[in-house]
Amino acid sequence: MDNLENDINAVIKSWDLDEEQEKKEIVRHYRALLRSLKTKLKKGDKELLRAAFEMAANAHKTMRRKSGEPYILHPIAVAMICVEEIGLGVRSTICALLHDTVEDTDITLEDIKNEFGNEIAKIVDGLTKISTVMTTNSSQQAENFKKILLTLTDDPRVILIKLADRLHNMRTMDSMKQEKQLKIASETIWVYSPLAHRMGLYNIKTELEDLSMKYLEPDKYKEIARKLAETKRERTKYINEFIRPLKDKLAQTNYSTEIYGRPKSIHSIWNKIKKKGVSFEEVYDLFAIRVIIDVPLEIEKEACWKVYSLITDEYLPSPERLRDWLSNPKSNGYEALHTTVMGPQGKWVEVQIRTKRMNEIAEKGLAAHFKYKEGTSSEDRFDKWFVQIREALGNQQEDGVDFLQDFKTSFLAEEIYVYTPKGEVKMLPTNSSALDFAFYIHTAIGSKCIGAKVNHKLVPIGHSLRSGDQIEIITSNKQKPSEDWLNLVVTAKAKNSIKDALREEKKSIAEEGKYTLQRKLESIGAAYNPYNIDQLVVYYKLPSQLDLHYNIAIKKNDLKDLKLFQVIGDKIEAPKPIQTSNENESAVYDPTQKTYSKKDSELIIFGESSDKIQYSLGKCCNPIPGDDVFGFVSTGKGLIIHRTNCPNATQLLANYGHRVVKTKWAKNKEISFLTGLRIVGLDDVGVVNKITNIISGELKINIAALTIESKEGLFQGTIKVYVHDKDELEILVDKIKSLNGIQRVDRFDTESV
């Protein structure tokens, strides 16, 4: 290793490094990378790695990360994640070391091709394209994303390395500005985390979700992390109590087994709290027990079911919580048995049973899947997925954000398995309808679908399917797709097929409009030419000539306005638009409908003159002073202020980062803002009076509306109040929570108050 250290020192001796410590750190990280690759190195690999390190090191030598550390530590860290956490080899390590060189330095793709060959150059090119996906406008974003997916189906290592890059960036994001943190965290939760899940990288998916939550919902993240730390000793004690009798039973099987408990992720706990409407203390499955069996491939299923039998002999299972991914593995290769059993002290516990091979696929995903590909029944599942992606990419009409949304719902969602009438199993995304299934079978069947029989019962085309359903599609030659079908499907194939059919129908109808327009133009002495058509498209604010012709055909635009146009020669000139508003006027959203001047407003908008900016508060999240917020420039609605944990925030920040304006509240107590609280508690005499006394009497807060419903000894109330800021709201929540019998007090999140 001495020669290696001399070589590295030779590379970095000319760098502008602050101290000897930084040189030692680079050497230490590179040594660790080589050690992790030791079992995978073949003849000549060490020289290739050294050449890649040298190229990357020299290219990045003057660069530092936001944290101040030498930039070269980032590509080394990404390479380390590729090897240790994803299970990739030497070629991928070289690509990881070089992944930022073409985008950020003077190194060209040709340089990499000459030094390392076509294969590595192609992967680095794919990685370079990905980096521009989320930083451009939506139409360009779609094209870039399609290129990435084509690269994915051609060489999945591009996505795997990119996921390693994103994971390291998320781990080291503390030194970035908040708006950058929000944007990157939103992209991660919107695209990269589901992609990691779909590639079978559960550990990486979980960590990406947790790290995103750390920046998007810091208060909730810290609260759950603190509670997990506080209950760690209690959980460990319970896990040991649960495992003790199982160890004796497993010892009788003669299988080599490993059994342990692991905590659920912070993000999954938070999701459960939100979905089930419970507190942290009421989430029963804060951890899962995992049983790993080391047995030969041919007896894997038998061994897993035997272990399941032993566990359910000891602890009673919940029948509806059995998940059998042995018989039907997920399309990302995941295989396991999951069951939930009643453990000691009346607590439900999730148990996951896997073999060593299944566990490696669950941890390392796609890379491990290909390692074990030979001889397994799931060898073509990824290939089928790639074929479906290629089919979806054939449609070039999609808008950028629509394409991303369709990709998420079609290819990144959880799956269900359903059966054809002949018993063939088909995998579809969760929430798929009978119509999705029809298009999945064949476009012609989908287009003629009028209904279906699910488990021999007649259902409409929009019927939502569940795992295990058997479906028979009913068709009619008179049927054809309509616009409302788009609301009944989730798969990209179905949506694209419906849009194609509607487009053809639209073209057919538009021909009549084209003929009508031609006659109208000729009647006023103007020509039917591209210039005049474009004038009308702009005037009617339509997206295309096709829409103009179609609207004329269906009499949506009746062309009466043509008399307002000026005819010069054979050309028409559109009339000048009328000014309807004064640009310098300012308007502030106020729930009480009173008008305030800008100097009374609560928002400071950075980088702009706040006296000239019009804005409104998002009705999807109703921000109040003190909330973490961002401004979003909306087409037609101006600047809208959203909370950073708004239900729509991740999509807006991930897809339209270029429209986000840095925003914060200034301190002002003159205006009240409407917000809502949902209260659940025991139906005690005088409970309403106690709540209103706190709000109106003690805190002098105005109540806009109050609704209380009682049922079987419990009450649920919704209260709408005017508060000055988040601090005042938090004081109110704490005081209501302190009342006897109050179980929960939650702020409205997803509905307009």
The residue behind tokens 């012709």 is: 549
The Cα 266–Cα 690 span in angstroms is: 35
In whole angstroms, what is the distance from residue 447 CA to residue 465 CA? 19
Q: How far, in Å, are 27, 192, 378 from residue 160 at the CA level?
A: 25, 10, 20
Query: In DSSP terms, which residues pair with 708 in a beta bridge?
Result: 717
User: CA-to-CA distance for 48 and 94, rounded, in angstroms?
Assistant: 8
Q: Which helix (H) or strand (E) holds 616?
A: strand 615-617
What is the layout of strands, in order, in the sheet containing 348-355? 256-263, 287-294, 348-355, 337-342, 323-324
Identity of the residue numbered 659 = R
- Half-sphere exposure (CA, 13 Å, Cβ side) for 526? 23
Q: Are strands 348-355 and 287-294 parallel, antiparallel or unpaired?
A: parallel
d(CA 493, CA 429): 12
- CA–CA distance, 561 with 575 (Å, rounded to integer): 10
- Going by C-alpha positions, the residue among 480, 450, 455 that lies closest to residue 465 is 455
Pairing state between β 566-568 and 571-573: antiparallel
User: Which DSSP string do the residues of 88-147 spell out, in sequence order?
Assistant: --HHHHHHHHHTTHHHHSS--HHHHHHHH-HHHHHHHHHHHHHTTGGGS-HHHHHHHHHH
Q: Which residues contact 219 (CB under 8 A, 6 or more apart)?
A: none
Question: What CA–CA distance (Å, rounded) separates 490 from 435?
Answer: 9
Question: Are 541 and 500 a contacting pair, CB within 8 Å?
Answer: no
Name the catalytic one among 103, 324, 500, 746.
103
CB burial of residue 585 (10 Å; 0-12, 13-18, 19+): exposed
Q: Is 103 a catalytic residue?
A: yes
Burial label, 622 (beta-carbon count in 10 A; 0-12, 13-18, 19+): buried
The token pair at 447 is: 């287009």
Backbone angles phi, psi at 360, to 5 degrees: -65, -40
Q: Find how far residue 562's CA is from the centre of its chain.
A: 47
Rounded to a whole number of angstroms, the CA Rg of the chain reads 30
Question: Three-state SS string across 343-376, please?
Answer: CHHHCEEEEEEEEHHHHHHHHHCHHHHHHCCCCC
Tell me which residue of 469, 471, 468, 470 sits closest to 324, measured CA to CA: 468
- Indicate the SS3 state at residue 310: helix
Give the closest residue to 175 by CA, choosing from 64, 320, 45, 44: 64
Point out which residues pair with 340 in neighbouring strands: 350
For 664, phi and psi rounded to 5 degrees? -150, 165
**In sequence order, which residues have a C-beta less than 8 Å from that of residue 346 and are 6 or more positions away?**
none
By the 8 A CB rule, do 703 and 751 touch?
A: no
Catalytic residue among 104, 111, 154, 505: 104
CA atoms of 162 and 131, how far apart (whole Å): 9
Distance between CA atoms of residues 607 and 243, nearest Å: 59
Amino acid letter for position 611: D
Determine which helix (DSSP H) or strand (DSSP E) holds 294, and give its type and residue range: strand 287-294
> To which residue do tokens 């070039």 refer?
396
> Does 398 participate in catalysis according to the annotation?
no
What is the set of active-site residues?
Answer: 103-104
